[in-house]
Structure 1
Amino acid sequence: MRLSRFTSYASSLLLAAACTLTGVGAAHADSRDERAAAPAYVALGDSYSSGVGAGSYDSGSGSCKRSTRAYPALWAAQNAPASFSFTACSGARTGDVLANQLGPLNSGTGLVSVSVGGNDAGFADVMTTCVLQSESACVNRVNQAKAYVDSTLPGQLDRVYSAIESKAPSARVVVLGYPRFYKLGGSCLAGLSEGERRAINGAADHLNTATAKRAADHGFTFGDVTSTFTGHEICSGDSWLHSVNWGDIGESYHPTAAGQSGGYLPVFRGAAS
């Protein structure tokens, strides 16, 4: 009887070992891993998503200047999504996203990020005007941009968001906004006037408000980065944004690597979870 019990016990141990070695146990582990895996992720948008200003650009991305230090690449490295497609591109407007960036989206896409609208509203021209011309010219140009945001941009954002919904109906979509550029009453002793800085910050808030409204109307999550950049604006003494960068003018007024990792990534991480 004792021998029979010992034989039965030993057989059970051997069977358990065999199951593990032949993959029966591994199948359960694999299924647990699959449940824990991050969803297929597609990163769309403009230079604030491609990572202009953060350096470490992928040479294969050409003028799109996609950075390994941009928040989409950082999130993908940390979360190992089922797949990662990074199509955000420097200078992209809403029409560019529609024409050139939506290819990777499909019914299996589980997560999408996008920042777009600043170039449509004339971001580069606003900053050029404010840097090179008078305060009144700057404020007038800012007001023109705000009028565009009110009259035209919502329809353009709707087209982008509707296309994302159509191509990736199951995806969680996170729309990222833009930071305020300047700390008012800060440490800058030269450059723009305080009135110009205030007008530019107001334009960023105006754009964010309009974008957040369109995102909400489509059931998307809006990621507001103004709070994470607070204390790290230009003139703060610890800026996460480039001011005028004469060495690479295209990086001017874009987040540094610290801005991507400390300003954008936490907001996206929270919205994506």
Structure 2
Amino acid sequence: MRRRLLAAAAAVLIGTAACSAAETSRTPGPEGPASSSRSATPVTGAYVAAGDSFTSGVQIPPQGGSPQGCGRSGVNYPSLVARQLGLKDFTDVSCSGARTTELTTAQQTGNGVNPPQLDALGPETGLVTLGIGGNDLGFMDVLGRCAVENVRHTLTGGSSDAPCRSYYTDGAGRGEIGRRLQAADERLAAALAEAKRRAPQARVLLVGYPALLPQDPARCAQTLGNGIAAGDVEFVGAQEQQLNAMLRRRAEAAGVGFVDTYTPSLGHDLCEPQDTRWIEPLSAAAGLAPIHPNALGEQGMAGAVLAALGQAH
């Protein structure tokens, strides 16, 4: 039993480590309609897409762009949005592993350096989409911690069904997630102000994260196995919703649009079958990144952005 439990935790940790490696050593709440701003006004000017691996489409073929370490896919949601809107002046500066700090500073990747993402903005920019914040929260670290706490709890014969929640609410990690979220909020506020300064004519959309886990933890029992305790599935989902809620509040405070990708992704989480899910599980399909969007997920996120712009897709 001990050996099986340790193997399960190792699988989760290896999966999260693989994601972190894909994100250059670093990597989300249903609220309201698809966006706080809906308009059918045609998009004009240049389109700049910024963000992390959920935006870049890490490991989704075809991969391209420079630097190669950013893991940009030719079918990520910005590319699909640009194609649907017929935008020829399109620049994708999203990068796997990006945090809010790398909107204004250069990012070292495993294969090249990505310039500060907001450097791509200018007076001619007409549309900006920005999907970021998950790496600031350290979402992959949280998942890894949940695996460790589950094994520790089981081996010591504990009674809680959510040992990871206990760690972050009453244990050594108490308040850690809240502090990370607050810091990300503050950095994002500054970044959005800077984006508006650099591209004063642009329509700016802050894009939230799709549902990683189902609202019913029992539906993930087989997919997650012994990796994460049943009660912690709900806990992890709640942290993602807090992140999305912060992003929505920050967008509203900054006077920019918010794109809700969580609501349309319900029923497409990582515990769904391969032909339904938007997010890959730890045992991802060949070549894809665990706990990251697949091509179907990028299509779904593109649909949410287009809906926020008042455009059919």
1:103 pairs with one of 115, 119, 127: 119
Provide closer, same or farther for how the CA distance between residues 56 and 163 of structure 1 changes in structure 2, counting only shifts above 3 A: same
Correspondence for 1:215: 251
User: Larger helix proportion, structure 1 or 2?
Assistant: 1
What do the CA deviations read for 1:168-221 (whole angstroms, capped 9, x no partner)? 011101111112211223154224222111011100100011111011111111
Please identify, of 194-203 and 126-135, the stretch whose mean Cα deviation from structure 2 is larger. Answer: 126-135
Distance in 1 of aligned mates of 2:235 and 2:117: 32
What do the CA deviations read for 1:81-103 (whole angstroms, capped 9, x no partner)? 24111000000001111121112
1:265 pairs with one of 302, 305, 311: 302
- 2:86 maps to 1:55: no
- 2:187 maps to 1:171: no
Distance in 1 of aligned mates of 2:254 and 2:303: 23
Instruction: Give the CA RMSD over aligned residues.
Output: 2.4
Structure number with bigger Rg: 1
Please identify, of 214-223 and 230-239, the stretch whose mean Cα deviation from structure 2 is larger. Answer: 230-239
Correspondence for 1:196: 232
- Report the TM-score when normalising by structure 2: 0.70
2:164 pairs with one of 129, 137, 162: 137
Helix, strand or coil at the partner of 1:91: coil
Helix, strand or coil at the partner of 2:128: strand
Counterpart of 2:163 in structure 1: which amino acid?
Answer: S
Helix, strand or coil at the partner of 1:41: strand
Provide closer, same or farther for how the CA distance between residues 231 and 95 of structure 1 changes in structure 2, counting only shifts above 3 A: same
Distance in 1 of aligned mates of 2:59 and 2:283: 9
Correspondence for 1:115: 131
Task: Report matched runs for 1:234-249 at 5 Å.
Answer: 234-237=270-273, 238-245=276-283
Helix, strand or coil at the partner of 2:136: coil
- 2:278 maps to 1:251: no
Helix, strand or coil at the partner of 2:120: coil
Distance in 1 of aligned mates of 2:272 and 2:283: 17
Structure 2 segments unaligned to the other structure (5+ residues): 1-40, 106-115, 151-161
Aligned 8 A contact 1:149 1:210 in 2: no
Structure 1 segments unaligned to the other structure (5+ residues): 1-34
Aligned 8 A contact 1:107 1:170 in 2: yes
What do the CA deviations read for 1:19-70 (whole angstroms, capped 9, x no partner)? xxxxxxxxxxxxxxxx967431000011111112533211643110000110
Correspondence for 2:184: 153
Distance in 2 of aligned mates of 1:159 and 1:178: 20
- 2:263 maps to 1:227: yes
Correspondence for 2:219: 186
Provide closer, same or farther for how the CA distance between residues 143 and 215 of structure 1 changes in structure 2, counting only shifts above 3 A: farther
What percentage of residue pairs aligned between the two structures are identical? 29
Distance in 2 of aligned mates of 1:119 and 1:146: 12
Aligned 8 A contact 2:53 2:96 in 1: yes
